[in-house]
Structure 1
Amino acid sequence: MNGIALYAQVQSPGTDALVAQNAFLVKRIAYHLMSRLPPSVQVEDMIQAGMVGLLEAARQYDAGQGATFETYAGIRIRGAMLDELRRYDWTPRSVHRKAREVAEAIRAIEARTGRDARDAEVAEQLGLSMDDYHDILRDAQSCRVFSIEELTESGDGVLEECADPSASPSESLVRAGFAEALADAIAGLPERERLVVSLYYEQELNLKEIGEVLGVSESRVCQIQGQAMLRLRARMQGWLDAERMPVKRREARGRRLGA
């Protein structure tokens, strides 16, 4: 059912007021999600899906369950956006699985050796040939190591703020700490990986242009960028693990409130 048809079905003075008062949530959640999505995803699609979620929330909300409408709507909006993303995530699950395995291997090697994990070490730990390992890096870079399942697990900072008015003000400090830790992790990348990340994300060069700067093939740049992304993922895993459990508890609570 599209947004217009759903709106016609649920339209009432009470629904109108709820939608008007909470429409800002749709854009806030959409733009926050966009910072973690591939460039191929259009924010307009996320906003449209989020509006459907908001309308569904207005239709199904039961104040007797004890949750505020903002809490319930935030969860339904984000859920609708994730459902929309699942329709367009054509990356095989095997790519995401292999990327996770590489990140875990990098983390284990660096914890054991106290230095940057080398390509050959990671491939050996995973029982892969160098060609197979480099194929995984290219695949990981091509899908931006983006996974709907991980996005669902790790949660959304804007939603957390909206969904829990009683949340501690220290949460904003935690998020600031995460940003600082990420900046430190990027600064700690091996020189070539750090340069590729800088040229791609800060200077906005494409892979071919970066290859010309470094004097390597576009395929090699793709491998280096994939390695950098997986190394960052490995080094930030502690933060993600720390976030995951409280977010899961909140989402479980949201499902109970909306039941």
Structure 2
Amino acid sequence: MYTAKGQLDANAMLRQYSPLVRRLAHQMIAKLPANVELDDLIQVGMMGLSDALSRFDAAQGVQFETFATQRIRGAMLDELRGNDWMSRGDRRHQRTIEAAVHKLEQKLHRAPSESEIAQEMGLSLTDYQELLTKVRGTQLIYLEDMSGDDGDDDYLDRHVHDEEANPLGRLQDQRMRQALVEAIKNLPEREQYVMSMYYEHDMNLKEIAAVLKVTESRVCQLHSQSIARLRTRLREW
């Protein structure tokens, strides 16, 4: 697609390859925490596409789509690395909650109650619930978890790459999904409802609160606690 002057028509190319950006964003977000917004990835991906248009040199013998795919995915990965969706302090609190949940599950052989977790952490029930609200546990996988045991800096790149042609990767993904389904089944009933409404039915906190007849803050607490339980189970997996 060229202009009358023999130059690439940037607007036409952006329109033609915007579906590529959306496809790559959907592939990537499927393996990322739930609080990463698809629209944000698409916006960054479009910037990567624009950058690819400005840098592409047909004389190098590379097809534009191949070149653009690398630039788009690279822009998305840079955005993921450059943003921290949970502060270090909140993440530390989240891990403390997870440690308490894990210890009590090993001791009690069942899902501990909120009051039991609070007692294990040396907190009042009110203080524990306030902490749950503060950490707003929205990540089943932290981005810094995506590093190999030997400090593999490229692990995130490979983790979000398309593994359609990798049978082992697909099998591992299926096992992970099954482990997650089983972990959700073991959540306390009310927390199962929250997870189902939030992730399966795409309901927001206000809508869930109306169904459960509780406050939005309470829904947030239940969600944070569910995430702590699930991360504990999945870490064992």
TM-score by length of 2: 0.67
The number of residues matched between the two structures is: 206
- SS of the aligned residue for 2:161 comes to helix
Secondary structure of residue in 1 paired with 2:163: helix
Within 2, Cα distance between the matches of 1:120 and 1:206?
A: 26
Q: Which of residues 79, 84, 95 is equivalent to 1:84?
A: 79
Equivalent-residue separation in structure 2 for 1:92 and 1:236 (angstroms): 22
* Closer/same/farther in 2, CA of residues 90 and 225 from structure 1, 3 Å limit: closer
For residues 183-219 of structure 1, give each alpha carbon's deviation from its aligned partner in whole angstroms, at most 9, with x where no partner exists.
1111221101001111222233322232222222221
The one-letter amino acid paired with 2:77 is: L
Aligned with 1:150 (options 133, 145, 148): 145
The aligned counterpart of 2:96 is 101
Deviation of 1:177 (Å): 0.9
Q: How does 1:69-80 map to 2 (within 5 A)?
A: 80=75
Matches within 5 A, 1:175-190: 175-190=173-188
Task: Point out where structure 2 has 5 or more consecutive residues left out of the alignment.
Answer: 1-17, 58-65, 149-154
Instruction: Please tell me the root mean square deviation across aligned C-alpha atoms, in Å.
Output: 3.9
In the TM superposition, residue 151 of structure 1 has moved relative to its aligned partner by 4.6
Question: For residues 144 and 129 of structure 1, what CA distance do their matches in structure 2 show?
Answer: 23
Paired residue secondary structure (1:236): helix
Distance 1:173 1:54 in 2: 34
Mapped to 1, the partners of 2:105 and 2:161 lie a distance apart of: 34
1:210 corresponds in structure 2 to: 208
Q: Identity of counterpart residues, as a percentage?
A: 36
Contact 1:193–1:228 (8 Å) recurs in 2: yes
Secondary structure of 1:94's match? helix
State the partner residue of 1:120. Answer: 115
Whether the aligned pair in 2 keeps the contact of 1:26 and 1:54 (CA below 8 Å) is no
1:230 to 222, 228, 231: 228
Q: Which has the higher helix share?
A: 1
Task: Give the deviation of 1:159 after TM superposition.
Answer: 1.9
State the TM-score, normalized to the length of structure 1: 0.62
